[in-house]
Structure 1
Amino acid sequence: MFKTKPTWEQFEDLVRRILEANNFRIQSHLPRGDSGFDFLGILGNEQWAIEVKYYRTARARPSLIESAAARVVNNGLRGGAKKGMLVISSVLPTEMRLVLEDKFSISFADRTDLRNYASVSPALAEELDSLLEADPDLVRDLSDRKEAPWNRSRSINERQAPPSDTKGTELCTRLKDTKRGKQAWSQYEELCIDVLKYLFPNDLQGWHAQKRTDDGVSRYDFVCRVRPMTEFWSFLVEHLNSRYVIFEFKNYVGKIKQGQVLTTEKYLLERGLRKVAIVLTRAGADKNAFKMMQGAMREYGKLILVVDDKSLCRMLHMKEQGEDPTDYLFELADDFLLSLPR
């Protein structure tokens, strides 16, 4: 079966070709992850540490960009690079870009810059517009971006390297150290609260814990009001008509079963604008539980997503490295809906 590359990988490859079209010699840099960066670029006699970040949301999220920039500086210094550049798919307002460049002493290139420098090749420009589904209202006037970002940068050695975010790693370690089962239920719940507030500090409001339903018997762990600031949360509000999302924490030893999904599904109310639940559980859902989730979506339009330990740690590391964890939730929802049977 033919499978296309994920969008972030397509974007990274396209950025490589745009830079090469502007006289950079580019090679992949290893190791990646915590101690690496995407590309080692050579322009003239200078080596550049270049990191590429693809975000589904077109408008820049400053906290994520600052986390990514700190890693470019730290990893660039460790890798022996003289200059650094962070390339993002979002729109970065000129005023914000100038502040960030002064703070980190690296270059920042957003989709407006990329569109400008892709113009050396009509094919590259067309590919970029198609990949990012360019909105003319979001792309700034190119006239103030004639100077290439690599001409504005100072040496990253000029300033002390800023501290990198390590909270995601710390929370993931806590998760791995938390025992499964009833005895550690309270500890797991407290951890999940810390995780959600770290991952989504500005996306959710309310944080109503342990709210009981009107009959005083059933309860769910958290209900939050959604702020549609990213593609995922906007999708919930605009397409699923869900202004609220339920989070449930299930510290089970094994996979959750059909009965647990059925209980969650009963909490979701179309007229209450509460049609989405995200279940945090240690080992995911079994086959019958997954079928129940499919039925809830197919028959009632109720979306239930299950996030296991592995996925939760991935999201924590994404946030720590300046990537948007809501993009991962979007992928989960997208894969679930694409595979939904008749």
Structure 2
Amino acid sequence: MSLVDQAGSHVVIVSCNVEPGHLAWAQSNFRIRVWDRRQLEEELNRLPSGHTGLMGRFAKFFHEVAEVEYVGELARNIAETPYSLEAETGRLSVSGAPASFTAGKEDPLYEGTRLRNKLAAIPPGREHAKAYEAVIQEIVFYLFGRFLVDPKPQSRTEEGLDILDIVYRVRAGHPFWDTLTRDFRTRAIIFECKNYSDGITPNQIYSTERYVNVSALRSVCFLVSRKEPQENAELAAFGAMREGGKLFVLLHDKHLAEMLDIRQTQVRQETDAGTPVRDFSNDPSEVLDQVIYDFLTRVAR
């Protein structure tokens, strides 16, 4: 069902829980608000006490849906789960939850969540720069490990900080990376990590630009930082693109979190399907593609 909230935005209400990556994508691309089960429960809890009847009906409905979902998940993991079927009642008795129900930090189905938490736990600042760079390398491997290969970390000093540039070779087979390397004539992709407390400034673009070399087929740099870049930093990136054909893709923690959510959903779907075939229509590269598209459409003549 749908309605219009007080701010005039269309609200779409669904009875299931929606993966965070899908939720963010739908709200961003269709200019709507989506209330999944979690959000709807929060909204119901804000209602005055006179609406207890409505809250009770939704609570019963959610409970029934949860039971159906549990049995469905159990069926997919039945080989790993101790269970018995009661002859008289037909009830399914479970002596332990399926392994996929437990969000253990070693569970590959929750690797995206683990990396999100690990990234969020690193404070910004020079003393944590190496830890941040290491997590970025972990995240890139999780998101695109089969396609961005042979990482070559290179230590150097800039403004008193030890900065680790990571250079990747692109392996063919991923539509996004194949298109990017073709359109920008690049063989290597640079990831520059900035664990700064504030958004990056034009200085970070200027100092990194000398490492981005069109003639050496190294024309693309993903500049990753903790917060949104300052406005003038984007102007510097426009200049690098317009004058030298060098593409700077400015990413920050929110982009990484969104991509991790999408990849985690992707991994779960691959696991449920029992095949490692990747669904490129639901891929974290969609976030990168959108960022690059938005950037290119605003580059002046």
Question: TM-score category by the smaller chain?
Answer: 0.5 to 0.7
Gaps of 5+ in 1: 1-26, 38-76, 85-102, 106-156, 213-217
* Partner SS, residue 179 of structure 2: helix
* Aligned mates of 2:175, 2:77 — CA distance in 1: 28
* 2:285 is the counterpart of 1:326: yes
SS in 1 for 2:191: strand
- Tell me, yes or no, if the aligned pair for 1:230 and 1:326 is still in contact at 8 Å: no
Unaligned runs of 5+ in 2: 1-12, 24-64, 79-91, 101-107, 157-161, 267-281
Partner of 1:24: none
Secondary structure of the residue aligned to 2:109 is coil
For 1:228, the equivalent position in structure 2 comes to 172
Q: CA deviation at 1:315?
A: 0.7
Aligned twin of 2:205: 261
2:163/2:193 contact within 8 Å kept: no
Higher Rg: 2
Map 1:18-37 → 2, pairs under 5 A: 28-33=14-19
Shift of 1:189: 1.4
Q: Kindly indicate whether residue 111 of structure 2 is the aligned counterpart of residue 167 of structure 1.
A: yes
The residue number in structure 2 matching 1:176 is 120
User: How far apart, CA to CA, are the structure 2 residues paired with 1:259 and 1:79?
Assistant: 55
- Counterpart Cα distance in 1 of 2:125 and 2:246: 28
1:224-264 C-alpha deviation (Å, 9 max, x unpaired): 11123223211221111011100011100001110111111
Alignment match, 2:68: 80
Instruction: Identify the residue that residue 60 of structure 1 maps to in structure 2.
Output: none
Query: Is contact 1:275-1:301 (8 Å) kept?
Result: yes
TM-score of the two chains, using structure 2 as the length reference: 0.60
Q: Percent identity?
A: 30
How far, CA to CA, are the matches of 2:200 and 2:70 in structure 1? 51
Alpha-carbon spacing, 1:175–1:220, altered in 2? closer, same or farther (3 Å): closer
The 1:196/1:242 distance shift into structure 2, 3 A limit, reads same
Counterparts in 2 of 1:186 and 1:270: CA distance versus 1, 3 Å: same
Match of 2:184 in 1: 240
Cα pair distance change 1:339/1:29, threshold 3 Å: farther
How far off is 1:78 after superposition?
Answer: 4.0
* 2:133/2:164 contact within 8 Å kept: no
Q: For 2:133 and 2:163, how far apart are their aligned partners in 1?
A: 14
Q: Which amino acid aligns with 2:18?
A: R
Specify the alignment match of 2:229 in structure 1.
Answer: 285
Give me the whole-angstrom Cα distance separating, in 1, the residues matched to 2:69 and 2:121.
Answer: 37
Query: 1:249-280: per-residue Cα shift (whole Å, max 9, x none)?
Result: 11000011101111111111111100000011
RMSD, matched Cα: 3.3
Give distance in 1, aligned partners of 2:123 and 2:243.
Answer: 36
- Superposed CA offset, 1:277-301 (max 9, x none): 0011101311111001011111111
Alpha-carbon distance in structure 2 between the residues aligned to 1:228 and 1:162: 35
Runs of 4+ in structure 1 deviating by more than 6 angstroms, as ranges, are none
Distance 1:234-1:183 versus aligned 2 partners, 3 A rule: same
| CA pair 104-277 structure 1, distance change in 2 beyond 3 A | farther
Alpha-carbon spacing, 1:30–1:299, altered in 2? closer, same or farther (3 Å): same
Q: How many residues align?
A: 204
Q: Any idea what SS the aligned residue of 1:221 has?
A: strand
Give the TM-score taking structure 1 as reference length: 0.53
Give the match for residue 51 of structure 2: none
Partners of 2:14 and 2:118 lie apart in 1 by: 33
